[in-house]
Structures are given as C-alpha cells and as structure tokens.
Amino acid sequence: MSSPLKKIPATQVVPGMYVRKIDGSWLDHPFWRGSFVVEPGETLVTLRALGQQGVWIDTSKGVDLPVATPQPATAPVLAAPAEAPVPSPPRSVFGDDYAAAEAIRERAKGVAKSLFGEARMGKALSMDAAAEVVDEINEVIARNPAAMLSVVRLKNKDDYTYLHSVAVAALMIALGRRLGYQGEALKELGVAGLLHDIGKVGISDAVLNKPGRLNPLELATVRQHPQIGWDILSRESAAGPMALQVCLHHHERTDGTGYPGRLSGDALSEVARMGAICDVYDAITSERSYKAGWEPADAIRRMAEWQDGHFDRRIFHVFVKLIGIYPTGTLVRLASQRLAVVLVQGNGSALNPIVRLICTLPDCAPLEPETLDLEGSDDRILTIEDPADWDLDIPALLRA
C-alpha cells in the first residue's frame, strides 16, 4: 500500500488538501500551524507564493493532485457559448493582499463580537477561535503588513468596539515582529490585542457611547474596565500571561499617571507598553461617537508630542517606523501636481514612501496605474489631501 504522504511544489497546492509539513525552517514561511486543511483565499495565496518550496500533503485526510485526463487526438468542435463571461480586471499584488486583509478583518470582527458576547454572558471564551483568527491576521502581516494595518484602520463608530480589538491585535503582531518576537510569542501578542478591552462588557453602552464629556462618576466607571477584563481573563487558562498584562495595564503611562495601578518604570512589562501605544494610536485614528478620527499622520505627530511620560520612547520610535510619517492609504499631493496614494513605506527616509499615482491636478485627469518610489525620484510630497475633496475612494484604489 502506497504512503498517503506526497511532496509537491507549493504552486500545485489546491483547496481541500491537507498540509502535513512545509519544507525548511518555520522561519522560512508565515505558517505557525504544523498541519492544516487548505482553504480558498489568503491561505491558498500565501502557500502558492512559496513557489517551488516543497509541501508535504496527506491524501488520506485531504484531496490529492487532480489526475490529468488524456485528451483525444482530435477534440470535438464545441459550440461557442452565447456570451463569454467578462473577466474581472487583474489586481496588483498589493490589491490581492488588501482584499485578503479585508476578508480576514470581517472574520475577525465576528470572532471579537462572539468573544465579547460570551464574556457578557459569563461563559467560557472561545480561545481556539481567537487563536485561529490571530493566525490568519499574522499570515497577511507576514506577507504585507501595510495592507493589513490600513484595512483595520477603517471602521465606523457602530463597529468600533469589535474592530478596535481587531486593529490592536494586528498592530501588536506587526510591532512585535519589528521588536523581534517570533512564533508562539507573536500569537500571544495578537490574542492579547484581541482581548485587551474585553472588560468593557462590564460598562454600560450608554456610558461607552456617550457623545459628550464623561462626568467624574462615568469616568471612574470606564476606568474599571481593565480590572474587569483581568478578572475575566484570569479564569481562562488559555489566555496566557501577555493577555493578562496588556488587558490590565494598557492605560498605564510610563510616568506613573495612568490607571488602574499608576505603574511606572520596570513595573510595566514590555508588552504592556506596546499595548498602550497600539491602543492609543487606533483609538485616536478611529471615528467615535464623540469625535472624528484623526488622520494617521496627525496622530503620529500628536503622539510624538506626548511620548515623554506617556509612552516608552524606544518602542514608540519602532512604532513610528512601522506606521510611517505618511501611513498606507494617505492621499498626498506631489510637487509635480499629481495626486497619489501611499502604498508602503520605502527603504529610505520616512518622508519618501512608495506611492501609486492617481491623477493630475487641477482637473484630476486619471493617470495610467504606476507606482513611484519617492526615495529615488525628484518628486516629493507637498501636502496631505482629504479624499472627500476629490471624491476618491481610497479602499477601492488600494484594492485595485
């Protein structure tokens, strides 16, 4: 009897296959799980992107390579279909990653909503579901952090609670990668981000969504959510120590003026300091019931003004390099009087990202799709523009 294990190049992987092992070190690919069933979407795209790298499949647990069907010497003439389907326009590599990130964001939002619902009802949390969706977030971040981080920034006030949790999970993973975290530690960072605000289930929606300034009693109530969250997670052995630290301490400040413990110095763990930065950045760039979100570039500038006393300076500087002075999705006017959208950060100065050209000014005449690395160009960014002023859909431009 032949073995069900078979080695194939990654380019031949199809949905339904059961991956037993991927050749090489786990550092050579973004998959943490030792074995898994291949599903359509970003997992399949990521696997095929490994090219000729060997993938071992188990045909007893999943589908095998399709058997080639011999073709007759003379194929019969078939009638042409009445109307051929119109193919979808091809996406750029960045567009594929952006679309995959959008799909994962929606799945992660559903998981976050379920986790909050379970906590509200006093039930055990679905930690397996949390770990699985964190795996998916990490897969996209490993391939294209800019795509995932730009997607999770887009949220409205109605979805804020759940998408804020997803965004902080993504930011924690991306920042952790920059700081040298690997493997299970990255997963724990993502889960910590996803669960950092779980204690808000103990605060009434009327207080959380109040459009005006909170009175002293309401403010004191809101400040109970880290301790409430810690109480919830301390009953979940699978949550892990990072989740407990980030949940309890993400509102602490390095000068000891935060809450609930007024901790400072070495009393604050590195992951708690990371959580504070990721939480504040996503909160101030999001639309809330009581305020509009700031543009990412403005948020980074404001946070830089607060960093002494609020944030760990070393970690904040790494965070700025991750996000960029002009984060992905920023609409900019160039000195050449062209509009462009920032795709990713370049390899040189933070002032010179890689952009996609959109149109010429002042008439906004469309340009052929072209990317431009400003580091090696005579062009430069003059100003940040509001997409609404030009009737531009930034997500659609990034998805293209």
For the residues of 96-141, what is the DSSP string, one character each?
Answer: HHHHHHHHHHHHHHHHHHHHHHHHHTTPPP-HHHHHHHHHHHHHHH
- Supply the pTM of this predicted model: 0.76
Own/partner contacts of 179-188, CB < 8 Å, gap of 24 or more, are 179/270, 179/274, 179/315, 179/318, 182/27, 183/26, 183/32, 184/32, 185/242, 186/32, 186/138, 187/32, 187/131, 187/134, 187/135, 187/138, 188/240, 188/241, 188/242, 188/243
Q: Which residue has the tokens 């409430």?
A: 228
Domain ranges in the chain are 5-58, 93-323, 331-399
DSSP character string of 6-18: EEEEGGG--TT-E
Pairing state between β 331-334 and 381-384: antiparallel
**Helix (H), strand (E) at residue 229:** helix 225-233
Please report, in tens digits, the pLDDT of each residue of the chain (400 residues total).
456 788 888 888 888 888 887 876 544 555 656 677 887 766 777 777 777 778 888 887 888 876 554 445 545 545 445 555 545 556 678 888 888 899 999 999 999 999 999 999 999 999 999 999 999 999 999 989 999 999 998 877 778 889 999 999 999 999 999 999 999 999 999 999 999 999 999 999 899 888 888 999 999 999 999 999 999 999 998 899 999 999 999 999 999 999 999 999 889 999 999 999 999 999 999 887 777 888 888 888 899 988 888 999 999 999 998 998 898 999 999 999 999 999 988 888 888 999 999 999 998 899 988 899 999 899 999 999 989 899 999 888 898 8
Please state, in angstroms and rounded to a whole number, the distance separating the CA atoms of residues 327 and 341: 10
* Residue 256 CB coordination number (10 Å): 14
- Using an 8 Å Cβ cutoff, are 364 and 390 in contact? yes
Please report the pLDDT score of residue 28 as a whole number: 52
Please report the pLDDT score of residue 83 as a whole number: 52
- Using an 8 Å Cβ cutoff, are 198 and 116 in contact? yes
Please state, in angstroms and rounded to a whole number, the distance separating the CA atoms of residues 151 and 142: 15
- The CATH class given to the 93-323 domain equals mainly alpha
Say whether 376 sits in a helix, a strand or coil: helix
Say whether 352 sits in a helix, a strand or coil: coil
- Candidates 259, 306, 258, 262; CA nearest to 281 is 306
CA 115 to chain centre: 18
Please state, in angstroms and rounded to a whole number, the distance separating the CA atoms of residues 152 and 6: 38
- Using an 8 Å Cβ cutoff, are 253 and 259 in contact? no
Instruction: Retrieve residue 244's tokens.
Output: 């407990």
Report the side by side order of strands in the sheet with 338-344.
365-373, 354-360, 338-344, 331-334, 381-384
* Residue 257 CB coordination number (10 Å): 11
